[in-house]
Chains A and B, each alone.
Chain A
Amino acid sequence: DTAVSQTPKYLVTQMGNDKSIKCEQNLGHDTMYWYKQDSKKFLKIMFSYNNKELIINETVPNRFSPKSPDKAHLNLHINSLELGDSAVYFCASSQGHSNSPLHFGNGTRLTVT
């Protein structure tokens, strides 16, 4: 009965590779997000989609491309991985994009070697 689920939980890969992280929510929410948490635990928004449309796109390298096939899914594809991409990536969802709280997945720990 997991509300927001991400796969994989851990991802170890080499520089230059392309990888994807998947996210699914079964809460019936219409807005989904990707956040990045760095080694100092700082959390920063990367993207936000509402009803499959991009509404927030922070200053993120264009190597990162979110894809939302439907309201319940928001995947993150990363091209040409770099060492600095190593972090924990969190998916979240909410109903609407202004007031309701975000519900987070358990995170994907990406390590680039």
Chain B
Amino acid sequence: GEDVEQSLFLSVREGDSSVINCTYTDSSSTYLYWYKQEPGAGLQLLTYIFSNMDMKQDQRLTVLLNKKDKHLSLRIADTQTGDSAIYFCAERTGSQGNLIFGKGTKLSVKP
């Protein structure tokens, strides 16, 4: 079945890089997404990558995709306290295009 796995917690110091990892099971996934949820807020689309790409960079964000291992990562350079949030990995799968979410990684940034 379809499943997306992420570690639940990550703690880094301000200024360091953060790397959030995700694994997925559906090899037919066409797009993979990263969403950010701040406390009490909705889900904000951060970035997404098409399955035929290996890497995508957008300012401080770098997405790496290893399709063979079904592994996706999000790197945040120069992490700031404002980056503290829950980060969700998600895959778009199946003919109905259901978006399957991981359980979210809570990123805590210490000053």
Contacts and interface: CB of A to CB of B under 8 A. Distances in A.
A66 interface: no
Give the interface residue-count category, chain A: 20 to 34
A42 B103 contact: yes
Interface stretch (A11-19, A67-75, A79-87, A97-105): A97-105
Nearest to A106: B42
A106 B98 contact: no
B30 interface: yes
A56 B41 contact: no
Interface of B: 30-31, 33, 35, 37, 41-45, 48, 86, 88, 92, 95-101, 103-104
Given A56-B96, A101-B45, A107-B42, 15 more contacts: A40-B103, A42-B101, A42-B103, A43-B43, A43-B104, A48-B96, A56-B98, A97-B97, A98-B30, A98-B92, A98-B97, A99-B92, A103-B45, A104-B35, A106-B42
